[in-house]
C-alpha cells in the first residue's frame, strides 16, 4: 500500500447535477502521474483493480454528464483495467491545442468511482503557436472528481526583480478619490500597460534581467510573457514604492497541488496591504484589475470563502486600459469560463514583503493555508 499522506481534498457529496456538470464523491485518488513520451502516460490511482474507460472529445464539451451516464451502461469506451496497484498506461491524442480526453474509473458493478479530464498541449503545438519549447508538451488536468494528493516536490519560489529606477507615476494616477496605496498600485499597472503588449508562453529566459530591461523587451515585441511574469514585474516595482507597505506574491490554483507531469491551470496575482481599509487587496496585473464585492475591495481569501452564487456578484474594476481582457482569455475553453475557479486553492509564496504591517492575515506566511485549502476544495463540486 502506498503511504502518501492525504493532506486534503474531501469532496462533499452533492446533488448529482450542479449547473451543467456531474459531480460525485470520489472513492479513489490520484497518487502519481507520469509522462512516458509525448503521448503516453501512466495514471496511478488508489491500489485496486478498476475498469477504465476513455473518451476522446477534441474540444471540451460544456457538459460531460451524458458521457458519464453512457459509460456506466455500456462498455463501448472501455480500454482495460488497472493493475492491482491501481496503475494504467493510456495514450492521449493531440489533434488540436487543449485536446481533451475523459478517463473514467469504474468498479466491478460499473459504478463510477472517479473520473479525470486531461488536456494535451503537445510539443509541436506549443512550438508552432508560441515558439515555446517543452519536451513532450504538457498534460493539463481538467474536470475531475478524483482526490489529488499533495506533491512535496512542487514548491514554488519567488524573488523580486532588480528595480534600478522607480518610475515617475504622476501621469498615471487615477482622478478618483482613493487611498494613496490604491492610487499607487493603479498607477503601476497603468505604467506597465502604457501600450498594448503580446502575451503567451515563450522560450526566451529573461528572468534574471531587471524590471526595466524586461519591460523594454516586452514593449519591443521581442518577448511574450504570461500572468506570472507580468505579476512579477508589477510586484517588484510595488515593493520599491514609498506608498505600498505590504506585498504578497500569490498563485491561485484550480487544483491542489500539481504533479510534475500533470499540471493544473494557475493564475499569478498579488495583493497589497491597505492601511486605510486595514486589509489585503487583490491585484491582478495581467488583467489590470481590482475587485469589489458589496462595495468593498476584496482579496483572495474573500474569494476562496465565497459561494458560487456570491462570486457572481463580484465586480471586476479594470484600471489599465491596454491590459488583457478577461473575456478574451477566459472564454476559450471550459476550464477558463469561470475566472474564480482559479481561487479554489491559494498558494501564497513563503516570501511576503511587508514593511510596517504589524500582523499577517490568516497565516499567509504558510505555503498553503490548510484551512483555506480545505474549505475551497469542498466547493470544487459547486463550481466545476
Q: Is the pLDDT of residue 350 over 50?
A: no
Q: Looking at per-residue confidence, does 288 or 128 come out higher?
A: 288
My answer on whether 205 and 347 are in the same domain is yes
pLDDT band at 257 (very low <50, low <70, confident <90, very high): low
Asked if residue 33 is part of any domain, the answer here is yes
pLDDT band at 355 (very low <50, low <70, confident <90, very high): low
Asked if residue 1 is part of any domain, the answer here is no
My answer on whether 183 and 127 are in the same domain is no
Q: Is the pLDDT of residue 381 over 90?
A: no
Q: Cell for 118?
A: 486531461
What contacts 24+ positions apart, CB below 8 Å, involve 324-329? 324/199, 324/286, 324/287, 324/288, 325/287, 326/287, 326/289, 329/287
Using a 10 angstrom Cβ sphere, with 0-12 exposed, 13-18 middle and 19 or more buried, the burial of residue 108 is exposed
Q: Is the pLDDT of residue 194 over 80?
A: yes
Q: Is the pLDDT of residue 250 over 80?
A: yes
The predicted-structure confidence for 5-21, as pLDDT tens digits, reads as follows 222 222 222 222 222 33
Question: Is 115:69 a contact under the CB 8 Å cutoff?
Answer: no
Report how far apart, in Å, the C-alpha atoms of 301 and of each of 196, 315, 369 are.
31, 16, 10
The C-alpha angle with vertex 36 and arms to 31 and 38, in degrees rounded to 5, equals 120
Asked if residue 12 is part of any domain, the answer here is no
Q: Cell for 215?
A: 519591460
The predicted-structure confidence for 100-125, as pLDDT tens digits, reads as follows 899 999 999 999 999 999 988 888 88
My answer on whether 330 and 231 are in the same domain is yes
Tell me, what DSSP letter sits at residue 136?
T
My answer on whether 353 and 212 are in the same domain is yes
pLDDT, residue 8, reads: 26
CB atoms within 10 A of CB 44: 21
Using a 10 angstrom Cβ sphere, with 0-12 exposed, 13-18 middle and 19 or more buried, the burial of residue 116 is buried
Distance (Å, rounded) from C-alpha 227 to C-alpha 274?
Answer: 23
Q: Residue 209's Cα: distance from chain center in Å?
A: 25
Distance (Å, rounded) from C-alpha 223 to C-alpha 157?
Answer: 22
Domain housing 72: 17-148
The predicted-structure confidence for 155-193, as pLDDT tens digits, reads as follows 556 788 999 999 999 999 999 999 999 999 999 999 999
Mean pLDDT for the chain?
Answer: 79
28-32, 98-102, 218-222: least confident range: 218-222
My answer on whether 108 and 224 are in the same domain is no
My answer on whether 227 and 300 are in the same domain is yes
* Percent with pLDDT over 70 in the chain: 76
Angle between helices 227-240 and 180-192 (to 10 degrees): 130
Mean per-residue pLDDT, 231-244: 93
Q: Are strands 147-148 and 29-35 parallel, antiparallel or unpaired?
A: parallel
Distance (Å, rounded) from C-alpha 326 to C-alpha 188?
Answer: 19
pLDDT, residue 328, reads: 66
Asked if residue 90 is part of any domain, the answer here is yes
Asked if residue 161 is part of any domain, the answer here is no
How many domains is the chain partitioned into structurally? 2
Q: Residue 83's Cα: distance from chain center in Å?
A: 31
From 91, 116, 148, the end of a domain falls on: 148
My answer on whether 304 and 363 are in the same domain is yes
Asked if residue 274 is part of any domain, the answer here is yes
My answer on whether 239 and 139 are in the same domain is no
Distance (Å, rounded) from C-alpha 35 to C-alpha 43?
Answer: 9
Q: Cell for 326?
A: 478577461
Q: Cell for 162?
A: 532588480
My answer on whether 230 and 278 are in the same domain is yes
| Residue 64, domain CATH | 2.60.40
266: β partners: 253
CA atoms within 13 A on the CB side of 148: 28
Distance (Å, rounded) from C-alpha 26 to C-alpha 130?
Answer: 36
178-182, 245-249, 297-301, 305-309: least confident range: 305-309
My answer on whether 227 and 352 are in the same domain is yes
Q: Looking at per-residue confidence, does 214 or 329 come out higher?
A: 214
pTM of the model: 0.74
My answer on whether 358 and 247 are in the same domain is yes
Residue with the three cell numbers 498541449:
121
What φ, ψ does residue 230 adopt, rounded to 5°?
Answer: -60, -45
From 148, 179, 194, the end of a domain falls on: 148
Q: Is the pLDDT of residue 251 over 50?
A: yes
Asked if residue 232 is part of any domain, the answer here is yes
The C-alpha angle with vertex 231 and arms to 367 and 126, in degrees rounded to 5, equals 95
Question: Is 351:160 a contact under the CB 8 Å cutoff?
Answer: no
Three-state secondary structure call for residue 349: strand
My answer on whether 175 and 134 are in the same domain is no
pLDDT, residue 149, reads: 66
Whole-angstrom Cα Rg for the chain: 22
345: β partners: 253
Asked if residue 253 is part of any domain, the answer here is yes
Amino acid at each position: 500500500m502506498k503511504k502518501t499522506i492525504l493532506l486534503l481534498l474531501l469532496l462533499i457529496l452533492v446533488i448529482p447535477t450542479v449547473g451543467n456538470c456531474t459531480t460525485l464523491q470520489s472513492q479513489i485518488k490520484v497518487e502519481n502521474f507520469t509522462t512516458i513520451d509525448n503521448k503516453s502516460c501512466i495514471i496511478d490511482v488508489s491500489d485496486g483493480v478498476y475498469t477504465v474507460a476513455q473518451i476522446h472529445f477534441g474540444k471540451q464539451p460544456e457538459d460531460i454528464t451524458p458521457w458519464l451516464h453512457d459509460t456506466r451502461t455500456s462498455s463501448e469506451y472501455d480500454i482495460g483495467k488497472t493493475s492491482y496497484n491501481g496503475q494504467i498506461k493510456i495514450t492521449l491524442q493531440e489533434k488540436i491545442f487543449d485536446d481533451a480526453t475523459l478517463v473514467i474509473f469504474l468498479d466491478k458493478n460499473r459504478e463510477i468511482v472517479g473520473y479525470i479530464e486531461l488536456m494535451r498541449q503537445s510539443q509541436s503545438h506549443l512550438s508552432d503557436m508560441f515558439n515555446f519549447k517543452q519536451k513532450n508538451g504538457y498534460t493539463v488536468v481538467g474536470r475531475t472528481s478524483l482526490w489529488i494528493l499533495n506533491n512535496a516536490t512542487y514548491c514554488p519560489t519567488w524573488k523580486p526583480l532588480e528595480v534600478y529606477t522607480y518610475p515617475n507615476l504622476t501621469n498615471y494616477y487615477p482622478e478618483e478619490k482613493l487611498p494613496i496605496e490604491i492610487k499607487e498600485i493603479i498607477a503601476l499597472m497603468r505604467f506597465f500597460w502604457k501600450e498594448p503588449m503580446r502575451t503567451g508562453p515563450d522560450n526566451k529566459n529573461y528572468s534574471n534581467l531587471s524590471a526595466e530591461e524586461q519591460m523594454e523587451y516586452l514593449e519591443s515585441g521581442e518577448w511574450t510573457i504570461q500572468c506570472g511574469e507580468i505579476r512579477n514585474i508589477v510586484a517588484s516595482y510595488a515593493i520599491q514604492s514609498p506608498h505600498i507597505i505590504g506585498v504578497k506574491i500569490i498563485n491561485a490554483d484550480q487544483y491542489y497541488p500539481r504533479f510534475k507531469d500533470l499540471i493544473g491551470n494557475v493564475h499569478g496575482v498579488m495583493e497589497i496591504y491597505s492601511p486605510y481599509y486595514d486589509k489585503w487587496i487583490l491585484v491582478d496585473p495581467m488583467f489590470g484589475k481590482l475587485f469589489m464585492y458589496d462595495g468593498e475591495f476584496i482579496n483572495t481569501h474573500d474569494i476562496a470563502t465565497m459561494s458560487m452564487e456570491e462570486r457572481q456578484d463580484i465586480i471586476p474594476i479594470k484600471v489599465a486600459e491596454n491590459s488583457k481582457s478577461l473575456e478574451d482569455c477566459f472564454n476559450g475553453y471550459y476550464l477558463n469560463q469561470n475566472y474564480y475557479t482559479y481561487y479554489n486553492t491559494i498558494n501564497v509564496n513563503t516570501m511576503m514583503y511587508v514593511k510596517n504591517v504589524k500582523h499577517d492575515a490568516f497565516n499567509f506566511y504558510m505555503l498553503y493555508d490548510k484551512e483555506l485549502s480545505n474549505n475551497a476544495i469542498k466547493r470544487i463540486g459547486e463550481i466545476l
